[in-house]
Amino acid sequence: MATGDSAAQDANRFIVLEGVRKSYPGAGAVISDFNLSISRGEFVTLLGPSGSGKSTLLMLLAGFEKPDAGAIVARGRNYVEMAPKDRNIGVVFQDYALFPHMTVAQNVAYPLRVRRMASAERRAAVERVLRLVQLEDLAHRRPAALSGGQRQRVALARALVFQPDFVLMDEPLSALDRRLRDHLQVELKHLHAKLGVTVVYVTHDQDEALTMSDRIVVLDRGRVQQVGTPEDVYARSANLFVADFIGESNRLDGCIVARRGEEATIRLAGGREMPCRPVGSLNVGDRATISVRPENVRLELEPAPEPEPDHGLPATLVEAIYYGDHARVVVSLPEGGPLTVRVPANGAAPAVEAGRPVRISWDASLARAFVC
């Protein structure tokens, strides 16, 4: 019988990928030395641009592809040598993959028929999962008579009905319009919390990843750039790639001229010095790039005529773009620009005078400096 410590360790290593590599002829390495442990009940998102390897990793977990090297273990079983049909995995595809000639109930029941479940048990399982995704009243409709969101929920019900060990989702919301996608993100998150099922989710949409995930794995060209909570990857990006890929970020180049523990001073191209938080082993004299989110930049529309020498950067207002709840204000800097500031709109578009002098600043803890 497992001890408490070993049981906890097993739960934390529910799915383990170690040293996984995958190449294709003519394409080179798609996945390079990939390592990841996923806990039981975790919602983990593989996030990256096209060609980053995220879908390949999903295919490796599903068994549709085989790694060139490395180990894939789930629930203590070697998945590398296991056929896809023997892996108790639910898969939700981008295109739903529903049978058009079958009803909703028949589509959901299909995995149970393949497993030769008795008809009474099958009906009970289908009814239970359709209630879960709120489609019980549509059981006799065919996919063509459903909306995109309803078809996606049918695909999800089919992936859950046989109680899989975990569920793989390959960009399942990408074909939906923005409003429906936002709604289903919340639905999926609530469903995950209710069921406690382990989910590995693939997307290139940063908002989806930030909204739904317990942890995000940021990939680029087959390599892990950062693994962390949504707050980690957004507010504490590990490198410039992550800072640029997750959300919006302003970048300014300069040279580190002072460092005091977790704070530093960077001298920008125009000679102005600004505070920052260095990432890694940046030292005095190193070239560096500041990354600062638009919402973390302070904008003074009425700057003092004689500011303190270290009080922000002079800038020129270019334009303001109104988004309802906020405005994106674009300014130009003598050091090079443009630079974007996100400010609350307070229900009205801000008055903009192109060419107006303004000043920008930020807290040191909110401007991260990376090696160029």
The domain segmentation of the chain, as residue ranges, is 14-241, 249-371
For the stretch 326-343, pLDDT in tens is 889 999 998 767 899 998
The mean predicted confidence, pLDDT, of the chain is 89
Q: Quick check: 120 pLDDT over 50?
A: yes
Q: Quick check: 156 pLDDT over 70?
A: yes
Q: Quick check: 4 pLDDT over 70?
A: no
- pLDDT at position 27 is 78
Q: Quick check: 5 pLDDT over 80?
A: no
Q: In whole angstroms, what separates CA 141 from the centre of its chain?
A: 34
Dihedral pair phi/psi, residue 75, rounded to 5°: 50, 35
The model's confidence at residue 350, banded by pLDDT at 50, 70 and 90, is low
The model's confidence at residue 9, banded by pLDDT at 50, 70 and 90, is low
Tokens for 348?
A: 């009205």
Closest CA to 231 of 247, 249, 220: 247
Percent of the chain with pLDDT over 90: 67
Q: Quick check: 141 pLDDT over 50?
A: yes
CA 95 – CA 115 distance, rounded (Å): 24
Top-level class of domain 249-371:
mainly beta
Question: Using an 8 Å Cβ cutoff, are 339 and 333 in contact?
Answer: yes
Model pTM?
A: 0.89
Top-level class of domain 14-241:
alpha beta
The model's confidence at residue 1, banded by pLDDT at 50, 70 and 90, is very low
Question: Using an 8 Å Cβ cutoff, are 33 and 219 in contact?
Answer: no
Question: Using an 8 Å Cβ cutoff, are 17 and 70 in contact?
Answer: yes
Q: 341: which residues sit within 8 A by CB, 6+ positions away?
A: 294, 297, 298, 299, 328, 329, 330, 331, 360
Q: Quick check: 308 pLDDT over 60?
A: no
